[in-house]
Amino acid sequence: MGSEAPLPKWASTPCIMGIDEAGRGPVLGPMVYGCLYCARSYQKTLATLNFADSKTLKEEKREELFENLKADDSIGWSVDVIDPRELSAKMLKKNKVNLNEISHDSAIGLINRVLNMGVLLTEILLEYSDQSKGITRLMKENGGLVYLDTVGDADKYRIKLSERFPSIKFVVAKKADSLYPVVSGASIVAKVTRDRALREWVLEETSENMHRSFGSGYPGDPETKAWLAHHKHSIFGFPTLVRFSWGTCTSYYKDMVEVESDKVDEDVGYGSSGKQLKLSNVGFGKASKRKIEEIESSGKGRCKFFHSRKLEQLTHF
């Protein structure tokens, strides 16, 4: 998602690019990385467009500025929307990927995407010749510049990026979204994209009692906590909107069913009490085969998940 017009002429001149994120902390919804880029020659004009750290702007102002930058032919932008399921899966898999690494990978992906489009972010090499002295050599001229709001240690992050993209100059700083207009613009791109994604989110689950009054999505929001408590399921956990790897969800796990296996997985966690419900406690245990078939055929005792989807047990294929 982003600028889809043919590459403008200014993109073949040295450009600057800003990268920022929205939605790193919430327990609900995607995390979005956004970038904004333009010619270095447009930098002074960019400073007059009233871009600011998106967190300091009201929603109406962010939307207005986003529409303005989309209509500006001298600006390009792009986003990477990271689904909450992807975040949790990476953070909980055996070879875990932490949130900082996910953030770094997203930023690197945006840089690659813009470079592959043909936007000039790299340094320019010019051949310099002095025939009177018989000297020919290559000289570097100021090329592109990429600004980022830091994730983790700023110096380590800059070194990591420089090793990956040795021909690009990076500026990595805390609160870069309030220091550099190009990062402020990227912040607005990311924040508006995330806000719209949440507003338009289609809940895949079909339980009768589901609703969208989930508040801000931040762990400390009482409305968000109430929504989580109301929408947890003892077997299926949380709706796909939830980042179930977040610590906020941990307190709900003690009420969920324990999955038993012949093999012990060191990564399996338990609630604070050390005990969880077993599948046998919710009607899937040691009942006779005939009894199970009777229950299945009648539809009684079946979980809402199966009932709402009209799913039935198959005994013959």
> Would you list the DSSP string of 203-242?
-----TT--S--TT--TT-HHHHHHHHHH-BTTTBS-TTB
Q: Which two tokens stand for residue 56?
A: 């300091």
Residue numbers belonging to the annotated binding site for a divalent metal cation: 20-21, 149
Range 235-241, long-range pairs (CB < 8 A, 24+ positions): 235/279, 235/282, 235/303, 235/305, 236/303, 236/305, 239/203, 239/204, 239/205, 239/210, 240/84, 240/85, 240/203, 240/204, 240/205, 241/28, 241/29, 241/84, 241/201, 241/203, 241/214
Q: Which of 44, 18, 16, 14 is nearest to 150 (CA)?
A: 18
Q: Provide the residue type at 126 as one letter.
A: L
Separation CA 78–CA 47 (nearest Å): 20
- pLDDT value at residue 213: 83
- pLDDT value at residue 197: 93
Separation CA 244–CA 237 (nearest Å): 8
SS3 state of residue 283? coil
Predicted TM-score (pTM) of the model is 0.75
Sorted by where each starts, the structural domains of the chain and their CATH numbers stand as 9-199 (3.30.420.10), 222-308 (no CATH)
In which residue are the tokens 């040295």 written?
14
Q: Which two tokens stand for residue 130?
A: 């002095």
C-beta neighbour count of 12 within 10 angstroms: 12
Q: In a 10 Å sphere around its CB, with 0-12 CB exposed, 13-18 middle and 19+ buried, how is residue 197 labelled? A: middle
pLDDT one-digit tens code per residue, 249-306: 777 666 666 666 555 444 444 444 445 444 444 433 444 555 545 555 555 555 666 6
Q: Are 120 and 12 in contact (CB under 8 A)?
A: yes
pLDDT one-digit tens code per residue, 86-116: 999 999 888 999 999 999 999 999 999 999 9
> Nearest 5°: phi and psi at 173?
-145, 150
- pLDDT value at residue 227: 86
Q: pLDDT averaged over consecutive 10-residue blocks of the chain (317 residues)?
A: 77 95 92 96 93 88 95 96 93 91 96 95 60 52 82 94 94 93 96 93 75 84 87 77 82 67 49 46 45 53 59 66
List, as one string, the DSSP characters of 238-275.
S-TTB-TTSGGGGGGGGGSEEPP-SSPPTT----TTS-
Q: What angle do CA 46, 157, 177 make, to 5 degrees?
A: 30
Residue numbers belonging to the annotated binding site: 20-21, 149
* Region of residue 265 (phi > 0: left; psi between -120 and 50: alpha; otherwise: beta): beta
Separation CA 2–CA 4 (nearest Å): 6
Length of the chain: 317
Separation CA 229–CA 157 (nearest Å): 37
In which residue are the tokens 């989110």 written?
201
